[in-house]
Structure 1
C-alpha cells in the first residue's frame, strides 16, 4: 500500500496535467505500422489489441474521461465494434451518466468513417438501491484491419467525489495504457459505520509489474497533486483453468480517500466503529432472550446449546436464497426497517449477514462469548490488509469461544452443517471482534473429508447391449450445500430437472435418466442422496468384443490441464473426496477379457488416486477414488500436478472389455 499523508501544493503540474486532459478530446493519427499491422507478436492469434487506452479523472469536474484505440485483427475481433458503456442510476450520489460519446473507424487504407449513430440505453441489472445501465452503440464499417477509436465521459453528482480504480490488464493485449487522476485538494467528509470522518489524505494499493509505479507530482503554488501511471505492452489477463480470484492476480491500482496514516491505524480505527455497529444491531433484545430460554434447557452442555441455537437460526428464511422484501411490502405488513436482531427474529427471516448476527445475539444471550467476523468471499477475492476498504469484506460468520478455543460457524449460509464453514469462507481472512476490540484474523480450514461426492452405478447389460439400472449419488458438505441452494431458488420440478441434466452430462450420450427420489434435502446434517434410473447403450461393439466405460461417470471428461506451463497457481474450490463404484452384470454369453488395471498414484502428500476392479461370476465392479487434500497449488508445483492428473485421467478412460462367445478364464481381480 502506498500512502501520502496531507497535501502540500504546487503550480507547475497544472501545465503537466492540462495537455493530458486535452489529449483525450483529440483524435490520434494512426501510424503506417498501425494501419498495416495484422498481428501482435506477443499474443499470436489475438482477435484484437488495444493500441492505446487512457482514463483521466478530474475531481473538480466530477468526471472520468475515457479514450480507446483498438485494432481489429481477425473476424472474431469484429465483436469489439459493439460497445457497452456501464453506468448507475439510483439513490443520491449513486447516479452517474455517460455523455460526449464520439468515435470513428479508420480502415487499413487510411479511410475514416465517423460514428454518427445514436446510442441507446438498456438496463443490465436492478437491485433494491440501484440500476446498472448501459449505453450501447456499434462502431461503423468494422472490418478486419480496422482501427476503432472512441471516447466518452462518465459524470456523477457535484457533491460527491469518486476515487478511481485503474485496471491496466484486460482480456486484450495493450500497447499503451495511460491513467491520470487530479484529486481534489478539499477536505472531504465521509460517513460510514455510523460515524463521520474527515479525509485529508489519499492512499492506494497497487498490484503492478516490477517496472511500473504510480507517479505522484505536486503542482507548485497550491495543494494540487497529479497521480499518473503509464504502461507499455501490457499482457492480457491470464486465461487458465482453475485460476485464483482475478482480483488478486490481475494488475490494478485501487485508490481511496482516507484520514488514516497506516494500515494498522485504519483497521483499528474503522474496526472500532464497525464493531460498535455490530453490537448495536445485536443488542440485548427481549425477543432473542425469550427465544433462547425456549430453546435451551438447564444442564445443556455448551455444544448442545450451540447446536440447538444453530438449528433454530437454520429454520428461518434466508432472503439471500429466496428474495428480499421491499420497503413497501414491509410497510403494508406493518413492519419497520430491520434495525436489530429482535426485528430479524420477529419476521422469521433475514439476510445471510443478519442471520449470522442474530445467531451471535442468541449465543451471547445464552451466556457464552460470541463474536461477529466479516470475511472475504474466496470465490471473489482474497483479503488484502493493505487495501484500506471495508468493502472487500463480503460476508458475516460467527466465532464462539468454547473452553478457550474459537469455533467458526456459518449460520448465514443456509444448510451449512454445524461446526463447518462453506468453502467460500474457509481459510479466508477478514476483520473480527475480539474481547475489548477488533483484530484481523484467518478462518479455519476445512478437511478434505467435509466435501465428499459418492457415485454408485448398479447396471445390467442385456443381450441387446443396453445398460439398465440404478444410479445413486451422495453429496456431503459443500457439494450438498450447493444442491440445497439450487433447491431453494426453484421448486421440486426444477430441482429434479437440474439433477437430471447434471447426470446426463456425466453419462454416455443418449442414455435416458429419471430422477426417482431426493433424500435429506433439508436435513443439512445428513448426506443428500439422489436416486436415478438410467437406460441406454454405452461403449463400442466389434464383431467379437464389447468395450464399455471403465467408469461410466467419466466418459465425457477431457484432460484438465493441457497447457505445459502456466502463469498462475491452480485454485480449486476446496479440498475434497470423490468416490465412484460401478458394477456391471453381463449376460452368460459374454466373458470378461479385461478391466481397468489396479493402480495408485500420489501427488506429494496432498493428493491421492486409486482404481481397481473386482470380478465376481458374470459381473465386474470398478472402484475409483480421488482425494484432493489441498485446494491451492503454486505455479512451481504445476508440472508435477499436471503429471499426476495425466496419469489418473488416462486410467479413468480405460475400458471394460467383454468378449462375445466361448467362455474363457475370467480376468483376475485388479487386472
Structure 2
C-alpha cells in the first residue's frame, strides 16, 4: 500500500508542477482522483494535512478614492490526511486597520471535494458561513470553515485582499504542515522601491522580469488618463517544503519560518521622492510623537496628589522609585493586552483600574516624572512577538519604564505583581530595548545587563544502611529565578504548594517546609525543608550504589535531534550551584568515585564544573552550571548537544560503597 501511495505522490508532484507554471491565472486543474485517494504524504508520513498548492499574486492598482492600493489574490488547496488535520479546513484572514483606513477581503470562494463510491462530490462554501470579527483595535478577522470536510477531503479556497497601505504581506512559504507546491508572483511598479529580506534558513532566488503595467487615473471633469509604467515581476517557486519543525528552546518558531519580507524603501511620484527605509532611532522618534505614546506623558495632572504622597513618605530616590512601582501595581491591573500605544489613555486606565501594557507602564513613567525622577519609556519587542530583521514600526509591542542614573539602568514593569526594579517578567527579555527621552531621542538598552539570576542549593543528609536517606535542604533563588518561584507559588496556599514540592522532589516525607521573603520582591526567596527518602539507593548484598546529586540530577538531555535549524533561545542567563554533603553508613567504604570534570561551551557561552571527594566518612559533591549566552546559534548546536550529554552523563554517575566489616 505504501509503495502505491508513493507512486501516486510522484505522479501528483509532476502534475502539480505543470499546474504551477500557469498559476498566475489562479485556475488550478480540477481535483483529481489521485489527489482524493492519497492517504499520506510520503516525505512526512505523520503530517495531518498538506498544502497541495499554495498560490498568490500581489500587484498594485489605482482608484480615485484610495489612490494606489495593493491587491493580493490567493488560491490554496489542502489535502486532509488525518482526523487532526481537520483543523486545516478553517481559514482565518487577518486584516489590518488604522484610524482612517482598513484592509478588505472580497470574492471568497471555496469548495470541498470528497470521493465517494467512485465519484467526486463537490460542496460549495456558503456565504453565510463567512464570519467577520474585530480582534483588536488594529485588527479585524474574516474566517470560514469549509463544509462536508472529512479525512481524505481536499479543500480549496480563493479570495482577494485589498490594502490601502504600502505594505506587501510577507510571503509565507513554510507552514505547520508540508507545502508540496508554493508559487507567488509579486508585481511592483517602478515608483515603489522595496528591499527583499529572506527569513529562515533556506535558499530561494526569484525569477525576475520587467513588464509593462498601467492604470487608469481620474483626471477630473469626466476625463481619465491611462498611466503607463514599468513593473518588476518576481516569481517565487518552491516544492516539497517541509513542515515547520517545533524545536525545544525556541520562544517563537515564526522567527525561523521560511518567508520573504518586502520592506518599502522609497516612493517616487513625479520626481517627488519619499524615503521610507529608516533606522531604529527614527522608529523610536516616530512612535514617541504619536498621541497615544509620547502625548500621554503630558497628561499627568491627575497624578500630582499621588506624587506628593510618595515624596512625603520617601526621602530618597531609591525608595521613591519603589513606592511609585507599588502604587501603580495597586491601582491598575494588567488586562492582558500588549501594545506600544495606549487604547484609552493612562488617565482612563487609572480610573478604570485596568489597562494594557502601554497604559500601565506609561502611567508609571509619568508618575515617576511627577516625583522628580528622570524616567523614560523603553520600547521592547517581547519574545513571542519575534525578532525584526530591519527597523520597523512593527518591531516593538511592549513598553517598560526606565531610569538611567550614571552608568546604571533601572527597568520597571508594573504589569506583574511580583516584579521589582530590574526583575521583569521573562517575556520582556528579548533582543534589545530602546529608551526614548522627552525630546524623542533614543538609546539602545541591553535588557540583560542588570540581571544576575542564580540559584544556590545546599543539602546535608545521612545515608542509612537500609538505603533510606534523611536530611535538610535549603535553596536560595535570586533575581529572575526568584521571580519564577513567586509566579509558581502565586496566591496558592503554602501548604498545598508544599505538598506539590514533595512530588516534585520525589521524597517520601517532608516537614518544616518554609519559604522566606516570598513577598519581599527584591530579596532572594529561600526555601527549606527536612526530608526522608525511603529507598534512595540501589543495593546488592554488601554494596550500595548512590547517586550523590540525589533529586538534583538531570536524567536526560533536551537536545535529542541530530541536527538543528533554528538557534537555541534560553530565557535568561543563569548560574546554578549545588553543594551536597552525605554522611555514609557505618561500616561502609567508598570503592569508586566519579571523576571531577570541567567542560565549557565555545566562546565562553557556558560551563559546567563537577567535583567530588570523600572526607571523614562523608561524601561532598559540588556542581556549578553557568550559562552566559541565552541565544546560541545553530552552528554551535553540536557543541551544545555534546556539552549537555557530558554534563548529564556525569550527573548520573554513581558512588559505589562496599561493606568493609
- Normalized against structure 1, the TM-score is what? 0.72
Distance in structure 2 (CA, Å) of the matches to 1:130 and 1:533: 54
- Contact 2:343/2:359 (CA < 8 Å) preserved in 1? no
Q: For residue 395 of structure 2, what is the aligned residue in structure 1?
A: 392
Distance 1:629 1:28, change over 3 A: same
SS class of match (1:580): strand
Runs (5+) with no aligned partner, structure 1:
1-16, 186-199, 326-335, 664-671
- Contact 1:81/1:138 (CA < 8 Å) preserved in 2? no
Distance in structure 1 (CA, Å) of the matches to 2:508 and 2:95: 49
Q: For residue 603 of structure 1, what is the aligned residue in structure 2?
A: 601
Match of 1:285 among 293, 300, 311: 300
Shift of 1:624: 1.6
Q: Does 1:237 align with 2:244?
A: yes
Q: For residue 558 of structure 1, what is the aligned residue in structure 2?
A: 556
Q: For residue 255 of structure 2, what is the aligned residue in structure 1?
A: 248
Q: Does 1:52 align with 2:53?
A: yes
Shift of 1:652: 0.6
Distance in structure 2 (CA, Å) of the matches to 1:658 and 1:27: 74
SS class of match (2:214): coil
Q: Does 1:207 align with 2:205?
A: no
Q: For residue 328 of structure 2, what is the aligned residue in structure 1?
A: 316
Match of 2:359 among 354, 363, 387: 354
Distance 1:384 1:161, change over 3 A: closer
Offset from partner CA, 1:608-641 (integer Å, 9 cap, x none): 2122235454543322210112212223333333
Distance in structure 2 (CA, Å) of the matches to 1:98 and 1:477: 54
Distance in structure 2 (CA, Å) of the matches to 1:165 and 1:441: 27
Name which of structure 1's ranges 452-461 and 253-262 shifts more when overlaid on structure 2. Answer: 253-262
RMSD: 4.9
The correspondence of residues 553-592 of structure 1 with structure 2, limited to 5 A, is 553-555=551-553, 557-588=555-586, 590-592=588-590
Match of 1:23 among 4, 23, 26: 26
- Normalized against structure 2, the TM-score is what? 0.73
Distance in structure 1 (CA, Å) of the matches to 2:277 and 2:551: 50
Distance in structure 1 (CA, Å) of the matches to 2:209 and 2:512: 63
Distance 1:363 1:251, change over 3 A: same
Distance 1:337 1:413, change over 3 A: closer
Q: Does 1:527 align with 2:519?
A: no
SS class of match (1:625): strand
Q: For residue 517 of structure 1, what is the aligned residue in structure 2?
A: 514
SS class of match (1:627): strand
- Contact 1:66/1:152 (CA < 8 Å) preserved in 2? yes
- Contact 2:325/2:412 (CA < 8 Å) preserved in 1? no
Q: Does 1:263 align with 2:263?
A: no
Distance in structure 1 (CA, Å) of the matches to 2:41 and 2:255: 29
Runs (5+) with no aligned partner, structure 2:
1-19, 62-68, 216-226, 268-273
Distance in structure 1 (CA, Å) of the matches to 2:459 and 2:159: 57
- Contact 2:334/2:357 (CA < 8 Å) preserved in 1? no
Distance 1:354 1:323, change over 3 A: closer
Shift of 1:553: 2.9
Offset from partner CA, 1:27-59 (integer Å, 9 cap, x none): 344779x97897646x68766654322245688
Match of 2:110 among 98, 101, 114: 101
Offset from partner CA, 1:206-254 (integer Å, 9 cap, x none): 3254433386866533169796643223343344332464333222234
Name which of structure 1's ranges 372-381 and 455-464 shifts more when overlaid on structure 2. Answer: 455-464
Distance 1:266 1:546, change over 3 A: closer
SS class of match (1:316): helix
Shift of 1:643: 2.6
SS class of match (2:213): coil
Match of 1:445 among 448, 451, 468: 448
Q: For residue 76 of structure 2, what is the aligned residue in structure 1?
A: 67
Name which of structure 1's ranges 529-538 and 262-271 shifts more when overlaid on structure 2. Answer: 262-271
